[in-house]
Amino acid sequence: MVRIAIIGTGGMANDHAYKFQKMDGCEVVACSDILPGRAKAFAEKYNIPAAYENTQEMLDKEQIDGVSVVTPDQYHKEPCLMAIERGIHVMCEKPLAPNLADAIEMAEAARAKGVLTAMNFSKRSVYGTQKAAQMVRNGEIGRVVHVEASYFQSWLVSKAWGDWRTEEAWLWRLSTKHGSAGVLGDIGVHIYDMASFIVGDIAEINCNLKTFDKGVDQIGDYVLDANDSFVATVKFENGAIGTVQATRWAVGYTNVEHIRVFGDKGALDLNFSRSGAETLKVCKGDDIEKDIWQPVDCPETPSTYSRFVESIKTGIQGQTSFDTGVKVQRYLDKSFVSSESGCFVKVM
Ligand SMILES: NC(=O)c1ccc[n+]([C@@H]2O[C@H](COP(=O)([O-])OP(=O)(O)OC[C@H]3O[C@@H](n4cnc5c(N)ncnc54)[C@H](O)[C@@H]3O)[C@@H](O)[C@H]2O)c1
């Protein structure tokens, strides 16, 4: 039985608890949150035996094989390093850290201790993503030349998920002082990860980041200065070019990702609906002449959570690691640099 502890029991932790508890051979044995009473309420909701307000105490007292770190972005590093120090395997939410230097430090610490790591790039949990990457690697659409990748959300305009004007869970995502890298760090990480996983590593980035007027500059302690829209032109190492973009202003698209990959022998179209269900279509062979797109069957695939638990069981590093987190962090950092200069910036 793999024994997991959850650190940070806010919104996203619900997904972690539900997915870990659903799995055979895995139990959630403890949770922690610095907010008084929050971990206790979470433990009661999910029937978790132990709840703590101090993560260090939890790591010292409990028998734990792996932790999942679900704290806000700027608070990933400390609990990750605490677990790594104790030889506990770590899954971390995205982005790995608020900056590249911290991300590298975390990856190096994990390597030095020999602990297994995972990133919760959640769209890897989807068969369409895995299949699209496999089809590109197998050459099914030939040489990739052009890519269009977008992640659209609308929560700055709609209240479908709650009201950012009043709820802390949204407010920290709008404030650099609260550790947010804006829409780039929030969902840009997912679309950068998807594009690079499916197509290949990105070599150069020219990104335009924008923070639009929201009618209010500050709410309480939260200065609303984090970027909320970006468009990046990218050059992949394999020679393909494309755009990667994300926004929180996409009226009519609560939560939608879309990637189109065009090769010299065919094309792929991977689309995620608001509920997260995916549609993968391919156009190749004789269908190219008539623009006919064939649906690709998308059965279930192991989730990021089960890949992490499986890696603990087998001792074999899973598909994502802190090194994957560092790679995506580089894309974020270079996006900021290129947005300042207005020029293409090399990733390495
Ligand atoms: N993979 C995904 O698709 C996905 C989706 C949503 C959020 N996230 C990520 O999950 C993380 C958490 O987001 P959220 O929406 O749950 O935020 P949230 O604000 O709802 O919850 C964060 C919780 O962490 C607690 N916390 C803060 N500092 C802590 C610390 N040092 N130790 C222990 N607990 C601490 C807070 O009290 C809060 O309860 C973020 O990094 C976010 O980017 C990922």
Q: Determine contact, residues 94/304, Cβ cutoff 8 Å.
A: no
CB atoms within 10 A of CB 291: 8
Tokens of 201: 């590593």
Q: Which atom of ligand 1 is nearest the CA belonging to 121? A: 1
pLDDT for residue 276 is more than 80? no
Domain ranges of the chain: 2-122, 123-300+321-346
Fold equal for 2-122 and 123-300+321-346: no
pLDDT digits (tens, 9 = 90+) for 171-209: 999 999 998 999 999 999 999 999 999 999 999 999 999
Task: Kindly state if the Cβ of 120 falls inside 6 Å of ligand 1.
Answer: yes
* pLDDT, tens only, 84-122: 999 999 999 999 999 999 999 999 999 999 999 999 999
Q: What is the pTM of this model?
A: 0.96
What confidence score (pLDDT) does residue 278 get?
85
Q: How far is the CA of 13 from the centre of ligand 1 (A)?
A: 7
CA-based nearest residue to 258, from 158, 191, 185, 182: 191
**Cα 219 to middle of ligand 1, angstroms:** 20
Cα of 185 from ligand 1 centre, angstroms: 13
Query: Residue 243 contacts by C-beta under 8 Å, 6 or more apart in sequence?
Result: 147, 148, 149, 150, 231, 232, 233, 234
Q: How far apart, in whole angstroms, are the C-alpha atoms of residue 167 and residue 161?
A: 10
**What is the architecture, at CATH level 2, of domain 123-300+321-346?**
2-Layer Sandwich (3.30)
Please tell me whether residue 70 adopts helix, strand or coil conformation.
coil
pLDDT of residue 15: 97
Ligand 1 centroid–CA 131 distance in Å is 30
Q: Strand pairing of 202-210 and 229-236?
A: antiparallel
Q: How far apart are CA 40 and CA 19, in angstroms?
A: 19
DSSP state of 185: I
Q: Which CATH class is domain 2-122?
A: alpha beta
Q: Is 50 in the pocket of ligand 1 (CB under 6 A)?
A: no
Tell me which of 45, 57, 93 to substitute to probe ligand 1's pocket, judged by most ligand atoms within 8 Å of the beta carbon: 93
Residue positions counted in the chain:
348
pLDDT tens digits, one per residue of 40-86: 999 999 999 999 999 999 999 999 999 999 999 999 999 999 999 99
Q: Counting beta carbons within 10 angstroms of the beta carbon of residue 87, is it exposed (0 to 12), middle (13 to 18) or buried (19 or more)? A: exposed
Position 274 pLDDT exceeds 90: no
